[in-house]
Amino acid sequence: MIEEIQKRPFVRPLFLWITGILCYAFLPTSLLLYVLGVLSALIFLFLGFSWGRGHAELQYDSRWIWGAIVSVLIVCLAVEVCWYSDRRIALVNEPASSLDLLATKAQYSLVNTFDRLRLSDEEKSILATLTLGYKKAMSRETKRRFSLAGVSHILAVSGFHVAVICGFLSFFCSFMPRWGIGRWIRYIILVGSLWGFVFIIGLAPSAVRAALMLSLYLTGRALRRVTDGYNTLAAAAFCMLAYNPYYLFDVGFQLSYLAVFFILFLVPRFKEWIVVRNPLLAMPWEWITVSIAAQIGTALLCFYYFGQFSTVFLFTNLPVTLLAMFLIPFAFLWLGYPVDFYGYGWIQKIVEGLVHGMVRVVDVFSALPYATITGRFSFFEMLGGYGFLVLCLIYMKIREPKVLLAALTLLLIISVKILIELFLIAGN
């Protein structure tokens, strides 16, 4: 496991940066300053004693000390960035950047355009949420139905939406040469359009994460370098938390990164366990594996924050995802298409039909009995559940029986705790 982390240079700085944010958020200021002061003093003492020794062997043998020094510096820098963000918000009464305000204005300028569509107010709110990330017009009942159907993630503009936009743009740029200057023009168009889309939808944390990951991936492709999904994910998280440390406590940020991590880890293993060679079934099977992996990664967090989990997500994700995959690009094509041009009416009918179809699927499945499981996990139950999942992932990687025993022991402890609580509730 240590070797796997060493292969990905952004993983360790990310963990240290998160440690600094958590220390600033939960430790008393006096204790935090005391600990950081002691660690800084130890660093200076070490540098003073080691100065001038000049033996390469000694320096190599002490490399773990240098690693500890760098770790302390990263944690201190994270604490300083958190302090600066607090001061900025307190003094200016706005986020660390005015980009959020500009993005909101750009978003509002497009929302009213949907009034030209022959849709109900509910359907317009769904379309505005799906394409522009504008959620203020959506009613609680609509959100509840999407949640019961297990497709509420479609309403949160995230990696799926960014990937659809990127795929749509890649299709239109497919005529451009993939070598020489053409490769870089294609790269600039794709990356610029991605960030333009993220800006329009209000710089949502999940969308920023996806755009960062895709930008890093496209940069690697343009430079003809091999990319690593885990390292790209860690780099995107590090950049976002460096910009705004409080993204760490955003529910969308947590759900987004957990879903992507479990997708990266579990989907290849699902494909190894069940090999589908039929090309007509391969893509639906891939969507199913992605959906299962994402649900495994986010189920505990959903129980902790929302107190419910959908049981019909396997049946709803495929049709709703397919409809959204066509609806998002057609909606943006309709927004940018001149009203007087030929074909405008056809594009509008396609958009309206796709919205009607999506709402129909959600209504049918959300009305089914037992479409959702209700129950709320405590923080420690949620934490223990993720500890169990992490141990299972480690066991799948190294096949060590001790790790499996630890995972089962942790699961037993959590199960006993939940059963005791249920008996106490039943007794009252």
Q: Residue 292 is which amino acid?
A: I
Q: Taking the chain (428 residues) in consecutive chunks of 10 residues, what is each chunk's mean pLDDT?
A: 63 89 83 74 67 51 68 84 76 54 74 84 88 82 84 78 82 71 81 84 76 81 76 86 87 84 88 81 82 86 81 81 88 84 88 92 85 80 89 85 89 85 71
pTM reported for the whole predicted model? 0.79
Q: What is the pLDDT of residue 96?
A: 45
Q: What is the pLDDT of residue 315?
A: 82
Sign of the Cα torsion 193, 195, 200, 206 reads positive
CA dihedral of residues 183, 185, 187, 190 (deg, nearest 10): -140
Spell out the domain ranges in the chain: 1-93, 99-374, 378-428
Please choose, from the candidates 171, 167, 166, 219, the residue with its C-alpha nearest in 3D space to the C-alpha of residue 193.
Answer: 166
Instruction: Tell me the three-class secondary structure of 121-173, residue by residue.
Output: HHHHHHHHHHHHCCCCCCCHHHHHHHHHCCCHHHHCCCHHHHHHHHHHHHHHC
Q: Most distant CA pair in the chain: distance in Å?
A: 79
In DSSP terms, 372 is beta-bridged to 310
Note whether 328 and 130 are within 8 A (CB). yes
